[in-house]
């Protein structure tokens, strides 16, 4: 006998991404702001003036990817229990992608799920990490291996916070903007070639366009069963570069910049991308001082590392390759020799 638990759900998880100077946020229930000491020292005072709620608790976690762990999650959860947050309470992620990923994960498991909102303060988090509902943490087996898909109730993007962001972190965010433009929008790519993203109006426009493009992909494939993989352009290579550099040599976005160049080498070798377009992409990365080359001591080992990635399935690895600027193709049968040449930059 089979009894069906009928769970055909009609849930509306839609939410707004508000791009404007942060306006006062009023909550009718308890709130906890999750942040780190770096962001808190620079900006918490301003945020606290804008948030009103029956109780506002600040939970500071140590700064850095190294702390994106279960241990930190437990520390946060303990603080939430001590403050007696309940199922109607809200968490506010105030920081970069690390704070955002951990806050989202805590929100998804605290008392089986409470509301959270994102206030991203890095460029990378504004254009990428805070949009799309991926939450998670790292463990000794790799990055982002534990987590959930859990959407925020709202995202508030105020480019004001970027005024204190170090240049390298800014560049890392630009790499993700370029990633989106190369795969999805030729006109946006051309605009980026002539724009100066250090200009306040230009960065606002670039953030808005990147989010629009990403949100459109997420709306079509929330849980990454196909289309959403396009956002991994450059990332298959980048994850190995991050691993080889012990997660300290390059920032994530910098590895993505090198990864895009490697993916382009492969695309040129397989005939899907012209030399000219590959050169344009590299030129745009260089304009923002992003690294574009990486010499690995052992290309074979680099290649083998692809198969440790959580995105490899049954020994196959899918590469996202640009076809022209603004279009892409998924390739899961690239010959090993071609990939090795792409890694070596040949």
Ligand X SMILES: NC(=O)c1ccc[n+]([C@@H]2O[C@H](COP(=O)([O-])OP(=O)(O)OC[C@H]3O[C@@H](n4cnc5c(N)ncnc54)[C@H](O)[C@@H]3O)[C@@H](O)[C@H]2O)c1
126 forms part of the interface with ligand X (CB under 6 A): no
Q: Is 152 near ligand X (CB under 6 A)?
A: no
Is 323 among the residues known to form the active site?
A: no
The catalytically annotated residue of 36, 143, 228, 242 is 228
What is the closest distance, in whole angstroms, from the C-beta atom of residue 345 to ligand X in the complex?
25
Q: Which residues of 258-280 are buried (b: 16+ CB within 10 A; e: fewer)?
A: bbbbbbbbbbbbbebbeeebbeb
Check if 214 is active-site: yes
Binding residue (CB under 6 A) for ligand X from 59, 73, 124, 197: 124
* 275 catalytic residue (yes or no): no
DSSP three-state, residue 45: helix
Long-range pairs of 176-179 with CB within 8 A, sequence gap ≥ 24: 176/124, 176/127, 176/128, 176/210, 176/253, 176/256, 177/123, 177/127, 177/206, 177/207, 177/210, 178/257, 178/260, 178/281, 178/284, 178/285, 178/288, 179/231, 179/233, 179/234, 179/256, 179/260
Does residue 115 have an active-site annotation?
no
Q: Is the dihedral of CA 23, 60, 154, 213 positive or negative?
A: positive
Q: Is 187 a catalytic residue?
A: no
- Residue 252: active-site member: yes
Give yes or no for residue 98 binding ligand X (CB under 6 A). Answer: yes
- Which residue sits closest to ligand X, CB atoms considered? 97
- Set 43, 252, 254, 265: catalytic member: 252
Return the closest-CA partner of residue 322 out of 253, 241, 265.
Answer: 265
Which one of 17, 85, 117, 169 is in contact with ligand X (CB under 6 A)? 169
Q: Should residue 68 be labelled a site residue for ligand X when binding is judged by CB under 6 A?
A: yes
**Residue 29 touches ligand X, criterion: CB under 6 A:** no
Q: What is the DSSP string of 103-151?
A: HHHHHHHGGG--EEEEEE-SHHIIIIITSS-EEEEEETTEEEEEEEE--
Instruction: Output 232 or 269, the one with its CB closest to ligand X.
Output: 232
Cβ 128 to ligand X shortest distance, Å: 4
180: nearest Cα among 230, 224, 250: 230
DSSP state of 24: P
Binding flag, residue 125, ligand X (CB under 6 A): yes
Name which of 55 and 164 has its Cβ closer to ligand X: 164
Rounded (10°) CA dihedral 221, 13, 253, 243:
-70
Binding segment for ligand X among 93-101, 199-207, 233-241, 300-308 (CB under 6 A)? 93-101
Can 239 be counted among the known catalytic residues?
yes
Let me know if 65 is a catalytic residue: no
- Considering only residues 80, 252, 263, 265, which one is a binding residue for ligand X as defined by CB under 6 A? 252
Q: Does 63 contact ligand X by CB under 6 A?
A: yes
**CB-based contacts of 127: which residues, under 8 Å, 6+ apart?**
173, 176, 177, 180, 206, 207, 210, 211, 214
Taking CB under 6 A as the rule, does residue 164 contact ligand X? yes
Is 286 labeled as catalytic in the residue annotation? no
Q: Which is nearer to ligand X, 149 or 338 (CB)?
A: 149
Contacts with ligand X, residue ranges (CB under 6 A) = 36, 38-39, 42, 63, 65, 68, 95-99, 101, 121-122, 124-125, 128-129, 132, 134, 143-144, 161, 164-165, 169, 172, 252
Enzyme catalytic residues = 112, 134, 176, 214, 224, 228, 232, 235, 239, 252
């Amino acid at each position: 006998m089979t009894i069906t638990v009928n769970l055909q759900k009609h849930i509306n998880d839609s939410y707004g991404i508000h791009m404007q100077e942060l306006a006062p946020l009023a909550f009718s229930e308890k709130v906890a702001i999750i942040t780190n000491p770096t962001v808190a020292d620079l900006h918490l005072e301003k945020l606290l003036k804008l948030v009103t709620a029956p109780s506002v608790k600040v939970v500071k976690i140590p700064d850095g990817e190294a702390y994106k762990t279960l241990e930190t999650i437990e520390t946060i959860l303990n603080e939430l229990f001590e403050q007696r947050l309940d199922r109607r309470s809200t968490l506010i992620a105030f920081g970069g992608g690390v704070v955002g990923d951990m806050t989202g994960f805590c929100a998804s498991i605290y008392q089986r799920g409470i509301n959270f909102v994102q206030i991203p303060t890095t460029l990378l988090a504004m254009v990428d990490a805070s949009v799309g509902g991926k939450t998670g943490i790292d463990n000794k087996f790799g990055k982002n291996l534990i987590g959930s898909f859990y959407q925020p109730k709202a995202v508030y993007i105020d480019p004001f916070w970027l005024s204190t962001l170090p240049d390298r972190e800014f560049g890392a965010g630009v790499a993700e903007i370029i990633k989106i433009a190369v795969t999805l929008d030729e006109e946006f790519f051309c605009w980026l070639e002539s724009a100066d993203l250090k200009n306040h109006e230009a960065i606002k426009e670039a953030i808005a366009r990147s989010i629009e493009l990403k949100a459109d992909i997420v709306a079509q494939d929330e849980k990454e069963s196909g289309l959403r993989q396009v956002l991994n352009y450059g990332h298959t290579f980048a994850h190995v570069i991050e691993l080889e550099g012990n997660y300290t040599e390059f920032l994530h976005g910098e590895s993505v910049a090198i990864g895009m160049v490697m993916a382009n080498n492969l695309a040129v070798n397989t005939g899907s991308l012209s030399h000219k377009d590959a050169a344009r992409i590299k030129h745009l990365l260089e304009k923002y001082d992003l690294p574009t080359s990486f010499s690995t001591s052992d290309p074979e080992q680099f290649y083998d590392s692809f198969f440790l990635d959580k995105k490899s399935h049954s020994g196959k690895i899918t590469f996202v390759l640009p076809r022209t600027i603004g279009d892409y193709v998924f390739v899961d049968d690239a010959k090993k020799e071609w990939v090795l040449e792409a890694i070596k930059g040949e």
